[in-house]
Amino acid sequence: MSKIKIIAATGCPTGIAHTFMAAEALKIAAKKLNVDIKVETHGQVGIQNELSKQDIQAADGVIIAADKDVFADRFKGKPVIDVPVAKGIREAESLIQAIIDGKAPVFKDSKNDASSEESEEYTSGNSFGRAIYKHLMNGVSHMLPFVVGGGVLIAISFLFGIHSADPNHETYHPIAKFLMDVGGIGFQLMVPILAAFIGDSIAKRPGMVAGFIGGMMASTGGAGFLGGIVAGFLAGYVIILLSKLLSGLSQSLEGLKAIFLYPVFGILITALCMYFFVEPMTVINEGMKTFLSNFQGANPIILGLIVGCMSAFDMGGPINKAAYVTGTALLAEGNMYFMAGVSAACITPPLVTAFATVFFKKYFNQSERNAGLINFILGSTHITEGAIPFAAKNPIVVIPILMLASSISAILTYLFNVQVPAPHGGFLVLPVVTGAFQWVISILIGSLVGALAFGFARKISAQKKDRENNLKQSA
């Protein structure tokens, strides 16, 4: 029989004394009782000896000896003993003995269903792919507020007139210029923030630092969104590599690493790699833009299909953002047609769910109907994410419906030659849209078709359930 493996987490408010005493006491006790132990400490210096997912998976039991939050949710489903830090110091042996004897209760998540769904998401499927996706989404979710905040301000500035931010134009207005400048700063930070928080997700603060700088290089070099993704992952894994290389250094140099070695070498190595990456990434970025914008004149239907499918596929995720960022980049070059389709495709998915809950009331529960109403607002303001809760419940059916609906909206928008000069804001920017009426009609048609399809899909699955229930009852 192999040795029993125990993991532990210790922590106290000040994080200088008891955290480490408990860790030491547990280690001594584990040695005495001949079990393996790994102790994570939540101290003033940060989290040390961090428990990995593998550690948690392999553990036979968990001891939490802490007077502060040590993120116990990750131990769900494990036998867990949760005690104050002082007990960890005084009674380390009996705590470990309790795990050995199998006396520890299995830990249940105290929080609501949402967080358990999330953790299931992280454990199921291909874990490497999941990790990559998680890092990417950490970047995207931090980037989003910059896009929304900046975009809406830019949109408002257009309300003063299309050229109102230009001091040399007759419609110039200082408030418009101010809004445009501030919103522009938000947009400029979009790619660096994306890269920074991909790096942060992979390698904490040092990864964030290197990612920020790599992202800034991608942004100023013209490598765009794709360059930012590359910079973020590069930065994160550079820091991971550095930490492996530096792991031989003594524990007492830990502080030096965090404050000096990681930032200096992390930035240097990431920047050197980016120096060579920026150019090819820029070529790809430009190529994608040209590819998409070429369709615009030649074949609006195919372009609408591509944009619609990209926008609705992950609703605010990386693929949606690739289409969106292309739209903003083309907008900056004066192309206002492309963005119109992207906006239409981004506005549609929440509206699909909203209309569906109104027309097919009885196939949605109360909380879904409430969410549906809110989605009228989210959709009208170009926040595609509103559709996610609906899609998450049954992605295989719902996402194709949303892609279809978004494609219809985008195709009609391109056919009507609608021009949208603002990168965000949804229907708020209608006053500056050329062909506003056609644009709204396009979006409504796409949304209503999607809503019908979504409603019938719900109806069919509800009837199927009824039949099954009837069969069970008659059997």
Q: Which residues are tagged catalytic?
A: 12
11 lies in the binding site for other proteins (CB under 8 A): no
- Looking at the DSSP bridge assignments, the partners of residue 41 are 10, 48
Q: Does 251 interact with other proteins (rule: CB under 8 A)?
A: yes
Nearest approach in angstroms of CB 27 to other proteins is 9
> How far apart are CB 45 and other proteins at their closest, in Å?
4
Of the two residues 23 and 306, which places its CB atom closer to other proteins in the complex? 23
Q: Which amino acid is at 412?
A: L
Using rule CB under 8 A, residue 473 touches other proteins: no
Residue 220 binding other proteins, by CB under 8 A:
no
CB atoms within 10 A of CB 297: 10
Question: Is residue 60 near other proteins by the rule CB under 8 A?
Answer: no
Supply angle C-alpha 169, 178, 418, rounded to 5.
Answer: 60
DSSP run (H or E) holding 39: strand 36-43
Structure tokens at 245: 């290389």
| CA atoms lying within 13 Å on the CB side of residue 290 | 6
By CB under 8 A, tell whether 239 contacts other proteins: no
Site size for other proteins, by CB under 8 A? 31
Least Cβ distance, residue 67 to other proteins (angstroms): 7
CA 275 – CA 207 distance, rounded (Å): 18
Cα 280 from Cα 286, distance rounded (Å): 10
Residue 86 binds other proteins, judged by CB under 8 A: yes
Secondary structure (3-state) at 73: helix
Q: Which stretch binds other proteins (CB under 8 A): 86-94, 275-283, 288-296, 356-364?
A: 86-94
Closer residue to other proteins (CB): 255 or 395? 255
Q: Contact between 70 and other proteins (CB under 8 A)? A: no
Can residue 17 be called a binding residue for other proteins (CB under 8 A)? Answer: yes
463 binds other proteins (CB under 8 A): no
Question: How far apart are alpha carbons 85 and 91 in whole angstroms?
Answer: 10
- Residue span binding other proteins (CB under 8 A) among the ranges 38-46, 267-275, 397-405, 458-466: 38-46
Is residue 288 close enough to count as binding other proteins by CB under 8 A? no
Position 253 contacts other proteins (CB under 8 A)? yes
Angle between helices 336-359 and 395-415 (to 10 degrees): 130
Q: 13 in helix, strand or coil?
A: coil
Residue 264 is a binding residue for other proteins (CB under 8 A): no
**Position 332 contacts other proteins (CB under 8 A):** no
For tokens 């947009």, name the residue.
187
Nearer of residues 24 and 73 to other proteins, judged by Cβ: 24
Q: Is 249 in the site for other proteins (CB under 8 A)?
A: no
- Tell which phi-psi region holds residue 134, choosing left (phi > 0), alpha (psi between -120 and 50) or beta: alpha
Only segment of 9-17, 332-340, 388-396, 452-460 that touches other proteins (CB under 8 A): 9-17
Interface with other proteins (CB under 8 A), residue from 77, 84, 222, 389:
84
Least distance in Å: CB of 417 to other proteins? Answer: 58
* SS3 at position 102: coil
Longest CA pairwise span in the chain (Å): 84
> Which residues between 87 and 126 bind other proteins (CB under 8 A)?
89-90
AA letter at 401: I
Collapse the DSSP code of 244 into the 3-class scheme (helix H, G, I; strand E, B; otherwise coil) and give the result. helix
Distance CA 367, CA 452 (A): 20
Q: Which residues are at the interface with other proteins (CB under 8 A)? A: 13-21, 23-25, 28, 41, 43-46, 67, 84, 86, 89-90, 251-256, 258-259
